[in-house]
Structure 1
Amino acid sequence: MIRFSQEQLQTIRTHAESTYPDECCGIILGYLANEGKTVIEVMPTENTWNAEAAAEFPGEHTIESKRRQYTIAPQVMLKTQKEARDRSLNIIGIFHSHPDHPAIPSECDRLYAWQGYSYIIVSVQNGKAGKLQSWSLDDTHQFQAEKIENIK
């Protein structure tokens, strides 16, 4: 389970709508506990997918594939990890959008996902954020739905 405030969920939706028709992405900071994850901060980031990023991943990708791919710059991940540690927080997840597609992980999402993280996907249909779902990897590296709980 992962706990978000309504404001945090709205930040994800707003970022997704602002980058449409490209995928948005961002980092989720919070706490890990036995009863689940609690989100403290949602950090929208730039989708830096380009030819160089595509070369790092196998498969057929093009420069224009920001509509179907995302990447967060490694230096942004590293800086965020250090800042989170300084604040006694963890990176507990990543969010991204699926423009004109359901909020269900793609095979590419699964291949490059990290165990222990929550993956929030928001479907954006015709520029309007819709269904938002959380997913996490099981022991066989398959995505399983993860409950989202609202906090005040």
Structure 2
Amino acid sequence: MTFTNGIPPSDKEGKKLFVSPSFLEKILKASHSSPDKEICGLLIGKRESVIEIMPMQNKAAYPERFFEISAADLIKSHRRVRQRQLSIIGHYHSHPSGSCRPSPRDAALAHEGQYWIIAASNKIEGWYAGKNGTVEGIFHPCRLVVE
């Protein structure tokens, strides 16, 4: 299993996301159990630390190509997370027939300051949405610090 996207450990300037190996394993397991449809969920935490992953139902019209979380589910999740004094710091999803590289649709949905974890095959990569991203104009590679 590969949990990083090739960013050298010595990279001090790039974004980092601290995440438990068990969360990454759960994301991979979910993506393997749904090989033809994208799985999705929320990254819950504080700043650059994932404290919990929250699986969500993919409501997209074409779940084999896209993911979509319903507005009602998202509002409920925001309320529940705020009550615990945490934040939704990003999203995770799978690309069943692609790579871990964010798609143009991912870029259209991304908001600056969010972390994204994308699973494909037996690989997971981290991304950060910010200005002048090197991928799709918004995404920067993000080193996953597994602890």
Does the pair score TM above 0.5? yes
**Where does residue 51 of structure 2 map in the other structure?**
40
**Where does residue 142 of structure 2 map in the other structure?**
146
Is 1:92–2:94 an aligned residue pair? Answer: no
Is 1:135–2:132 an aligned residue pair? Answer: no
Q: What is the aligned counterpart of 1:122 among 119, 125, 145?
A: 119
Structure 1 letter corresponding to 2:125: Q
Q: What is the aligned counterpart of 1:26 among 17, 32, 41?
A: 41
TM-fit CA distance, 1:67: 1.0
Determine the C-alpha separation between the residues in 1 that align with 2:26 and 2:78: 20
Determine the C-alpha separation between the residues in 2 that align with 1:13 and 1:113: 22
Contact 1:3 1:149 in 2 (8 A): yes
TM-fit CA distance, 1:41: 0.5
Q: What is the aligned counterpart of 2:101 among 91, 104, 119?
A: 104
TM-fit CA distance, 1:100: 2.2
Fraction of identical pairs, as percent: 29
**Where does residue 56 of structure 1 map in the other structure?**
none
Please report the RMSD computed on the Cα atoms of aligned residues, expressed in angstroms.
1.1
Structure 2 letter corresponding to 1:41: E
Structure 2 letter corresponding to 1:11: K
Corresponding pairs, count: 128
Determine the C-alpha separation between the residues in 1 that align with 2:34 and 2:58: 9
**Where does residue 70 of structure 1 map in the other structure?**
67
TM-fit CA distance, 1:72: 0.7
Unmatched tracts of structure 1, length 5 or more: 51-64, 125-129
Question: 132-141 or 90-99, which moves further after superposition?
Answer: 132-141
Determine the C-alpha separation between the residues in 2 that align with 1:83 and 1:5: 21
Q: Which has the higher contact order (CA 8 A, sep 6+)?
A: 2
The 4+ residue runs of structure 1 with deviation greater than 3 A are none
